[in-house]
Structure 1
Amino acid sequence: MRRRAIPLLSAALALAAAFLVGPAGAAEPEPGEAGAAAAGDERHRPRLYTPPANPDAYTQAHELALAGQLRDAAGIVSMVRTPQAVWFGDQSPAEVEREARQVVRDADGATVVFSLYNVPGRDCSGYSGGGANTTAEYKAWIDAVARGIGRSEAIVVLETDSLALLPSDCGQDDAQGTKTAARYAEINYAIGQLEPLKGTRVYLDTGHAAWHGPASITPRLVKGGIAKATGFFTNVSNYQTDAANSWFGRLVSACVAYVGEGGDAAQCPHQSSAREQAEAWIGANVKTPPSRWKHFVTDSSRNGQGPWVPPPGKYTDPQDWCNPPDRGLGARPTLRTGDPLHDARLWVKIPGESDGLCLRGTPGPEDPERGMVDPKAGDWFAEQALELVRLANPPILPGS
Structure 2
Amino acid sequence: MLSNMLNQCSEDTRLSIVVYGIPNKDCDAGLSSGGSVKSTDDYKAFLKQLTDAVGDRKVLYVVEPDAVGLLAKENSCGSSAGYLENLKVAVEALSANANAELYVDVGYWMLADSTNSAKIAPIMQELGTCGKVKGVTINTSNYRSTDECTTYCTNFQTAMGKSDMSCVVDTSRNYNGSPTSDWCNVQTAGIGKPPTSETGVSNIDYFMWIKPPGESDGECSTGGTSAGSFYADGFTKLWDQGYFVGEGGLKTIAAGTGVVTQQSNQTSAGSSVDQISPVDQEVSGVGTVAPQDTDSYQTPTTTTASAGSGASQSYTITPTATQAPTQQPTQAPTQQPTESPAEVIL
Does residue 1:392 correspond to 2:242, yes or no? yes
The secondary structure found in structure 1 opposite 2:236 is helix
* Counterpart residue number, 1:332: 194
Q: Of the candidates 226, 231, 236, which is equivalent to residue 135 of structure 2?
A: 231
* Counterpart residue number, 1:87: none
Kindly indicate which of the two structures has a greater share of residues assigned to strand. Answer: 2
Provide the rounded CA distance (Å) in 2 between the counterparts of 1:128 and 1:301.
Answer: 21
Compute the displacement of 1:170 (Å).
7.3
* Counterpart residue number, 1:345: 207
Amino acid at match of 1:144: Q
Does residue 1:134 correspond to 2:39, yes or no? yes
Greater relative contact order structure (CA < 8 Å, 6+ sep)? 2
- For 1:261-317, what per-residue CA distance to the aligned partner results, in whole angstroms no more than 9, with x for missing partners? xxxxxxxxxxxxxxxxxxxxxxxxxxx5x4xx112111000001111426xxxxxxx
Name stretches of at least 5 consecutive residues in structure 1 with no aligned partner. 1-97, 259-287, 311-319, 359-366
Query: How do 1:122-201 and structure 2 match up within 5 A?
Result: 122-124=25-27, 125-131=29-35, 132-166=37-71, 172=77, 177-179=79-81, 182-201=82-101
* Counterpart residue number, 2:122: 219
Compute the displacement of 1:100 (Å).
4.8
Greater Rg, structure 1 or structure 2? Answer: 1
- For 1:123-163, what per-residue CA distance to the aligned partner results, in whole angstroms no more than 9, with x for missing partners? 22533333421121111101111111111111101111111
Identity in percent: 25
Query: How do 1:289-308 and structure 2 match up within 5 A?
Result: 290=163, 293-308=164-179
Provide the rounded CA distance (Å) in 2 between the counterparts of 1:200 and 1:336.
Answer: 19
Name stretches of at least 5 consecutive residues in structure 2 with no aligned partner. 252-346
The secondary structure found in structure 1 opposite 2:141 is coil
TM-score calculated relative to the size of structure 1: 0.56
Provide the rounded CA distance (Å) in 1 between the counterparts of 2:8 and 2:171.
Answer: 26
The secondary structure found in structure 1 opposite 2:53 is helix
Provide the rounded CA distance (Å) in 1 between the counterparts of 2:44 and 2:105.
Answer: 18
Going from structure 1 to structure 2, the CA distance change for 1:171 and 1:253 (only over 3 Å counts) comes to: closer
| Aligned alpha-carbon RMSD (Å) | 2.5
Q: Any conservation in 2 of the 1:195–1:230 contact (CA below 8 Å)?
A: no
TM-score calculated relative to the size of structure 2: 0.64
Going from structure 1 to structure 2, the CA distance change for 1:254 and 1:164 (only over 3 Å counts) comes to: same
How many pairs were matched up?
A: 244
- For 1:220-264, what per-residue CA distance to the aligned partner results, in whole angstroms no more than 9, with x for missing partners? 3234447731111100101111111112112212322x2xxxxxx
Provide the rounded CA distance (Å) in 2 between the counterparts of 1:302 and 1:224.
Answer: 29
Compute the displacement of 1:209 (Å).
4.8
